[in-house]
Chain A
Amino acid sequence: MHENNLLSLIIFAPLGGAAINWFIGRRLRNEKIIGIIACSSVGISTIIAFYLAFNSNGALRSTEPILDHLWTWIQVGRFRADFGLALDRLSGTYALFVTFVGFLIHVFAVGYMHGDSGFYRFFAYLNLFMFAMLTLILADNFLLMFVGWEGVGLCSYLLIGYYTDRKEAGDAAKKAFITNRVGDWGFVLGLMLVFFLTGSISFFAKPEHGVISALQAFAGMSADPFTWKALFAGGATSVAILLFIGAAGKSAQIPLYVWLPDAMAGPTPVSALIHAATMVTAGVYMIVRCSAIYTHAPTAMFTVAIIGAATAIFAATIGLAQNDIKKVLAYSTVSQLGYMFLACGVGAFVAAIFHVITHAFFKALLFLGSGSVIHGMHHEQDMRRMGGLRKYMPITFATMLTGWLAISGIPIFAGFFSKDEILWKTWSAGEFSLPSLIWSKALWFVGAITALLTAVYMTRMMVMTFWGSERFREKDIDHHEEGDAAQARHNVHEPHESPWVMTVPLIVLAVLSTVGGFIGVPYALGSLFSDHPVNYIEQTLEPVISHDPVSVPHVEGSHAVDEMQWLSPKPQQLDGPPAVHALEGPEAASAEHAHSPEEIRQERLLALVSVLIAAFGIGFGWLIFQKRPLLQMPRILENKYYVDEIYDATIINPMEGLSREGLWKLFDVGVIDGFLHALGDAVTEGGRLVRHMQGGFVRSYAAIILIGALVLIGFFAYFGAHALGLPR
């Protein structure tokens, strides 16, 4: 465990860039300088991240995190939240691809936003986003992570609503922020429950500051048994579910996914950076970071798996029927995020992170490619008005081709390895997080169907965009109710290839989408080609995640790990009885788990099935959409199952109506103020009555005095003075 003050520069360089662009860029009005400031500030972060990760003492090589304690942010009583950063293997891996992909997208955006009146503002927000995202990743405690968590939400809000004169952009921005807030509700409560249970909110032990690690404290507890009651018991399961609510908001899972498709109203680089590659995977990151909690909460893991699988297939079906190129990619993102949560739910945390990384490559590529298409088509996003673009935009086409193959799961391309890993881990998941083994097969089946659908809708998108007739020339293809202005505009221009600032990032991402998967080739496949295959990603990440007591880690091709100091205690060290009594001891399971030939055979077989599914999906999509690119898809899918309408009708409108008519007009104005006014009127009326006594006639005053005196005297005469307790 060592300190390195360079670490804080990773987050503060983009913050500086944001500040410079915000305060000075406004005056400069020079796109080149603004672009250079923005890109170089992220570039600095990238270089430092790589240096700190890979130098001889680097985070990815060492077993201990690099820490940077800046100041103690809040300290009240026992509660302590530091502004402290930590680069361990998990955050290091994350920081690497976030900074690098972020840098590429910044470069791309310089070309994409060319000529925009808010150029400086855009890059200030984008840099601010990098600051928040890196804070989220590098935070060494829950509360600082929450700072980044809300910060990325804010930047997402600002960037979705970037085109302030478009109403749908404002609506989408608001929706994104509020939906995320619903998730944050869970995050904050989960955080407080963590503090309540462990007395700490830190991820890492910092003995020199007297801070213990909350995660280690969880690792030392016994696991909650598998029961739904545990959800409300206030233990690890409750923590895990509350945190998952947060993750579901940020990472767009059912039922909080609705904001992400709408978020496409922002500029396309934003969609690529925030709503595909980095921010939306924050939920996955958080769950993997908290694997020590989840592996003690089988019910929560099961919930995560179910929600993940459901989201995956649900979003994929919607993606089939969208006509806006960005909407297809948005639902695809939701669906892929579902995969990642499925992986988390079955305990395959490494596979989840692996998929996050490959997804960042190919989805950023696809989004940027779509941005290039939109740019080349002069802001046309409807695929029904595209077609045949491969001639006009060869580089965009070629690069998107790799993205298409990667997401569909064709071997060699990055997506294949990660998706296959998730499917395999789901298939082979143990009984810890699932009530019975049937579930693992069922979840695998859902995942496989999703893979099929993915291949189909991506093929549809590619075909509609790049193949077929050049529909942008046709005048009257108006399926939409968009105005004539848009029609006229896009008929004037020919599509054109984008400038190099946009195509170079595409090419780099295309290369990564092609070869990026080789960092995580599973043993079963790697051993086909090499005697000692190395699964780098697994080797790197296994030591920093926890395992459920059933599937015990095995790091392929390396025994160095055994000598490592584990950051979260080894599962073997768990005290207390095993959660599920039917299970054998974890040690017994671990010995058998190590690549039995039977398992390798199964894994290879499943990989083959995955490939066949992908190939079938592509072929099927090709056959259908090549002939009829404008095939009318089912209405219910095109209308996204009417979920937005249902939310409006059941939650939002009743809430507003109740607040306006019930709480405000009826209760506040009617009941409370009504009561007060009645009280006031009563007093006034009473005063008016009594006023008649003050007529100004001496005779009536004399009469009143007489009556009063008689009453008083009569009172004392009747009760006697002692009635008042007066001395006699």
Chain B
Amino acid sequence: MRQHLLTILILLPVLGTMVAVAYSFAPRRQDDHYKWIALAVTILTFALSLLLVGGVGAAEFRFEENVNWIGAIGARYHLGVDGISLWLVLLTTLLMPIAILSSWTAIAKRQLSYYVFLLLLEGAMIGVFVSLDLLLFYLFFEASLVPMFFLIGIWGGERRIYAAVKFFIYTSVGSLLMLVGIIALYFIYGTFDYAAILAAMSAQPALLSPNAEFWLFLAFAFAFCIKIPLFPLHTWLPDAHTEAPTAGSVILAGVLLKMGTYGLLRFNLGLFPNMSRQFAWIMITLAVVGIIYGALVAMVQPDVKRLVAYSSVSHMGFVVLGLFSFTEFGMQGALYQMLNHGVSTGALFLFVGFIYERRHTRLITDFGGLATPMPWFSSLFVFASLSSIGLPFLNGFVGEFLIMLGSWTSNAIQHSWTATMLAATGMIWAAVYMLWMLQRVVFGKVTNPANATLPDLSAREIGLLLPLLILMLVMGVFPRPFLDRSKASVEAVRARVAAPPTGGSFAGNKPAGAQVEPRDLSFNALEGGH
């Protein structure tokens, strides 16, 4: 079974949809049973995905499957998982049962198709993270769009059609460009296989002209930056998040956004290291702008869900900043921050979903003083918010700190200290918008009588939060098991992208820092460009 584990992980949810559909023809079916089927399938998937953990650690891909798919064009069914994708797969499989539990009572209409779409989405998302064939990757990347489109468009809020269409067009425009890029790569290297292309690149570096690399980088980056979303390509996100059902938001924030940063790490940095270096200053600038911009806009949102959505723009900016620092700290931190964001923001969307389910409004002004009727909700909400703020010993801090350390010590751009200092203000802004929101939602007197008698969290709701809350603490206090497993894979990408500069603007910029023997502290640094 182990050699087909990845295929099983992808197909199990698809199988689950078939079971659900088959059940719908059963003579005495009940609509309430679909969610049980979905829950069972996703929990089984999660349990199986845990088997991956033991096998991954080194730089190369494990659990590989490599068979012919479309022989005529050399497309292969090539799957594999390494330290980078391992945790993202686990994040996907973990968030899925939670998303299904969060829909338990919220989704009443068309349950069969709802859970079918969720399961299909899971299969597609796992496929994205384990595909090692570009065409296959593209297939899964696009396939994940469709279920999410329907989830938003059918079970969403008032402006769901607008949001769904915006989401779909925005992201598919990006991925179509990527498809062009993939085909171009095929014409250059004659294969879609990631590993084969990598090997060919190092064997014949001249094959890829700088001009071609430039356009290819852009094509891929465009697709991924929309997905992340990187400022200024982010405007689909608040709409999609706000209108999506809770489970949709959780999956969207938790997993779908990570496809963008995963793609940047795997494909842009991996395949086009030279262009990555050249584009680093643009990407870092956009990331830093996004960090501050997202936070400032989040601060003034009247809608809790929109606030969390904009905070995602800010947090994902950190991830991009870390990736393009080309340092081990920054890239490891970026990968870690992807997981953190999935856990923390996923949890925040759950909290928003809980009060939406109770009050059918998400406007901050409609709430206030929830601590009195809902003490459990309030305590846990504050806890999750603190994780999002980046309080040390909760998960967010480790990622953000490593990213900032990475960008601080980075050679990728000229003014890395300035960039870091600006990015670090994100810490302040995060506190501003989260605490201000908390104060208006959770604390104070109960001003609206409709809030006075709200029921506190049910056992199901606490239960589905618990794994995320525990993870926040564990990932904050013991990050090493996570970081150690991804170390070798991240280092492999970093080694490619941070190849020793050949002079020019990179040379002599900054000492490697951190030598054991301390530097003379006088004015070298000033002349050194900082």
Q: Do A and B bind each other?
A: yes
Q: Which residues of A contact B (CB under 8 A)?
A: 71-79, 143, 146-147, 150-151, 154, 157, 161, 164-165, 167, 170-171, 173-174, 177-178, 181-182, 184-185, 188-189, 192-193, 195-199, 212, 217-218, 220-222, 224-225, 229-230, 232-236, 296, 576, 655-656, 658-660, 663-664, 668, 672-673, 676, 680
The residue in chain A whose Cβ has the minimal distance to the Cβ of B484 is: A75
Main SS of chain B's interface residues?
helix
- Chain A residue numbers with a CB within 8 Å of B293 are 663
B521 touches A235 (CB 8 A): yes
Given the interface contacts A75-B480, A170-B439, A234-B526, does A177 sit within 8 Å of B518 by beta carbon?
A: no
Quick check: A663 and B297 within 8 Å, CB to CB?
yes
Q: Beyond the given A177-B435, A664-B297, could you list 18 further A-B residue pairs with CB under 8 A, ordered by the A residue number? A: A73-B479, A74-B398, A76-B487, A78-B514, A151-B393, A154-B391, A178-B431, A178-B435, A184-B427, A192-B405, A192-B420, A196-B514, A199-B515, A221-B518, A222-B522, A668-B297, A672-B235, A673-B235
Complex contacts, B300 vs chain A, CB 8 Å: 656, 659-660, 664
Say yes or no: B428 contacts A73, CB within 8 Å: no
Asked if residues A196 and B408 are in contact (CB atoms below 8 Å), the reply is yes
Contacts of B530 in A (CB 8 A): 234
Provide a sorted-by-A list of 24 A–B residue pairs whose CB atoms are within 8 angstroms.
Answer: A73-B479, A74-B398, A75-B480, A75-B483, A76-B332, A79-B402, A143-B392, A150-B397, A165-B369, A178-B432, A181-B427, A181-B428, A184-B427, A185-B427, A195-B514, A196-B513, A196-B514, A232-B526, A234-B530, A655-B296, A659-B297, A668-B297, A673-B235, A676-B235
User: Which of chain B's residues has its CB closest to A220's CB?
Assistant: B518
Q: Given A198-B518, A224-B521, are A189 and B421 also a contact pair (CB < 8 Å)?
A: yes
Cβ proximity bits B312-339 to A, threshold 8 Å, 1 near / 0 not: 0000000000000001110011000000
Which 7 A-B pairs give the minimum distances between C-beta atoms? A235-B521, A234-B525, A199-B514, A660-B300, A147-B392, A659-B296, A77-B328
The chain A residue with its CB closest to the CB of B329 is: A76
What string of 1s and 0s marks CB contacts (under 8 Å) between B483-495 and chain A? Answer: 1000100000000
A576 to B522, CA, bound (A): 11
Chain B's closest residue to A180 (CB) is: B431
Q: What is the CB-to-nearest-CB distance from B334 to chain A, in angstroms, rounded to a whole number?
A: 12
With beta carbons under 8 angstroms apart, the residue of B393, B397, B522 that contacts A224 is B522
The number of residue pairs between A and B whose CB atoms lie closer than 8 Å in the complex comes to 173
Cα–Cα distance between A171 and B438 once the two chains are bound (Å): 11
Residues of B within 8 A of A230 (CB): 523
B514 touches which of A161, A198, A229 (Cβ 8 Å)? A198
Nearest to B530 among chain A residues (CB) is: A234
Q: Is the CB of B297 within 8 A of A233?
A: no
Q: How many angstroms from the CA of A195 to the CA of B293 in the assembled complex?
A: 29
Q: How far is the CA of A256 from the CA of B523 in the complex (A)?
A: 30
| B393 in contact with A76 (CB, 8 Å) | no
In the bound assembly, the distance between CA atoms of A531 and B424 in angstroms comes to: 56
List of A residues within 8 angstroms of B432 by Cβ: 178, 181
User: With A72-B480, A151-B393 known to touch, is A164 a contact of B522 (CB < 8 Å)?
Assistant: no
A225 CA to B483 CA, complexed, in Å: 41
Contact of A76 among B477, B483, B519, B526 (CB under 8 A): B483
Q: Map CB proximity to A onto B291-313 as digits: 1 under 8 Å, 0 otherwise.
A: 00100110111000000000000
Give residues of chain B (391-446) contacting chain A, Cβ–Cβ below 8 Å: 391-393, 397-398, 401-402, 404-405, 408-409, 417, 420-421, 424-425, 427-428, 431-432, 435-436, 439, 443-445
Across the interface, which residues of B come within 8 angstroms of A221, CB to CB? Answer: 518-521
B417, B477, B522: which has the most chain A beta carbons within 10 Å?
Answer: B522
Decide if B392 touches A151 in the complex (CB within 8 Å): yes
**Residue on A with the closest CB to B336?**
A76
Q: Contacts of A225 on B, CB cut-off 8 Å?
A: 522
User: Within 8 Å of chain A (Cβ to Cβ): is B372?
Assistant: yes
Complex interface: chain B residues within 8 A of A212 (CB): 516
CA of A559 to CA of B417, assembled, Å? 46
Residues of chain B whose beta carbon lies under 8 Å from any beta carbon of chain A: 166, 169-170, 232, 235, 293, 296-297, 299-301, 327-329, 332-333, 369, 371-372, 386, 391-393, 397-398, 401-402, 404-405, 408-409, 417, 420-421, 424-425, 427-428, 431-432, 435-436, 439, 443-445, 477-480, 483, 487, 513-516, 518-523, 525-526, 528, 530
- Pairwise interchain contact B521-A236, C-beta atoms closer than 8 A: yes
Of A185, A192, A222, A232, the most chain B CB neighbours within 10 A belong to: A192
Task: Tell me, in angstroms, the Cα distance from A167 to B368 when the chains sit together.
Answer: 11
Given contacts A72-B480, A74-B480, A164-B444, contact A174 B401 (CB under 8 A): no
Is the CB–CB distance between A197 and B521 below 8 Å? yes
Name the one of B232, B424, B445, B477 contacting A188, with C-beta atoms under 8 angstroms: B424
Contacts of B518 in A (CB 8 A): 197-198, 217-218, 220-221
Q: Quote the shortest CB–CB distance from B333 to chain A (angstroms).
A: 8
The answer to whether B444 and A170 have CB atoms under 8 Å apart is yes
Q: In the docked arrangement, what's the CA distance between A75 and B445, Å?
A: 45
Nearest CB in chain B: distance from A9 CB, A: 18
Verify B444–A74 contact, CB threshold 8 A.
no
Closest chain-B Cβ to A698's Cβ sits at a distance in Å of 34
Q: B520, A222: Cβ atoms under 8 Å?
A: yes
Q: How far is the CA of A186 from the CA of B300 in the complex (A)?
A: 25
Query: Which residues of chain B have C-beta atoms less than 8 A from A224's C-beta?
Result: 521-522
Residues of chain A lying within 8 A (CB to CB) of residue B528? 234
In the assembled complex, the Cα of A218 lies from the Cα of B439 at a distance in Å of: 43
Question: Which of B170, B232, B409, B478 sits near A196, CB closer than 8 Å?
Answer: B409
Contact in complex: A233, B525 (CB < 8 Å): yes
B525 & A659 in contact (Cβ 8 Å cutoff): no
Chain A positions within 8 Å of B371 at CB level: 164
Complex Cα distance, B333 from A189, in Å, reads 16
Q: Which residues of A contact B478 (CB under 8 A)?
A: 71, 73
Which residues of chain A are near B297, meaning CB under 8 Å?
Answer: 659, 663-664, 668
A487 to B464, CA, bound (A): 49
CB within 8 A of A189: which of B369, B372, B397, B424?
B424
In the bound complex, CA of A150 to CA of B530 (Å): 29
A residues within 8 A CB of B421?
A: 189
Chain B residues in 8 Å Cβ range of A233: 521-523, 525-526
How far apart are A89's CB and chain B's nearest CB, in angstroms?
24
Q: Do A235 and B235 form a contact, CB below 8 Å, given A147-B393, A165-B372?
A: no
CB distance from B312 to the nearest CB of A (A): 14
Q: Cβ of B424 and Cβ of A174 under 8 Å apart?
A: no
Asked if B299 and A659 make an inter-chain contact with CB atoms under 8 angstroms apart, the answer reads yes
Inter-chain contacts of A173 with B (CB < 8 A): 435, 439
Query: Are B479 and A177 in touch, CB under 8 angstroms?
Result: no
What CA separation (Å) do A185 and B425 show in the bound complex?
7
Q: What is the bound-complex CA distance between A416 and B513, given in angstroms?
A: 47
Q: Assess whether A154 is in contact with B386, with CB atoms less than 8 Å apart.
A: yes
Report the minimum CB–CB distance from B197 to chain A (whole Å): 28
Cβ B408 vs Cβ A672 within 8 A: no
Alpha-carbon separation in the docked complex, A63 to B515 (Å): 28
A74 to B403, CA, bound (A): 13
Check B516–A199 contact: CB distance below 8 A: yes
Q: A78-B514, A150-B391, A167-B444 are in contact. Are A197 and B519 (CB under 8 A)?
A: yes
CA distance A167 to B447 in the complex (A): 12
CB distance from A11 to the nearest CB of B (A): 12
Q: Does the CB pair B398–A150 fall under 8 Å?
A: no
Most chain A Cβ neighbours within 10 Å, of B386, B409, B425, B518: B518
Q: Which residues of A contact B392 (CB under 8 A)?
A: 143, 146-147, 150-151
**With A and B bound together, what is the CA distance between A173 and B530 in angstroms?**
37
Once the chains bind, are B480 and A668 in contact (CB under 8 Å)?
A: no
Q: With A150-B391, A664-B297 in contact, do A235 and B329 touch (Cβ < 8 Å)?
A: no
Contacts of B404 in A (CB 8 A): 188, 192
Beta-carbon nearest neighbor of A192 in chain B = B408
User: In the assembly, what is the distance between CA of A264 and CA of B369, in Å?
Assistant: 21
In the complex, the chain B residue whose C-beta lies closest to that of A234 is B525
Closest A residue to B297 by beta carbon equals A664
B408 to chain A minimum Cβ distance, whole angstroms, is: 5
Are the CB atoms of B514 and A185 closer together than 8 Å?
A: no
Residues of B within 8 A of A76 (CB): 328-329, 332-333, 402, 483, 487
Instruction: Check B431 against A181 for contact (C-beta < 8 Å).
Output: yes
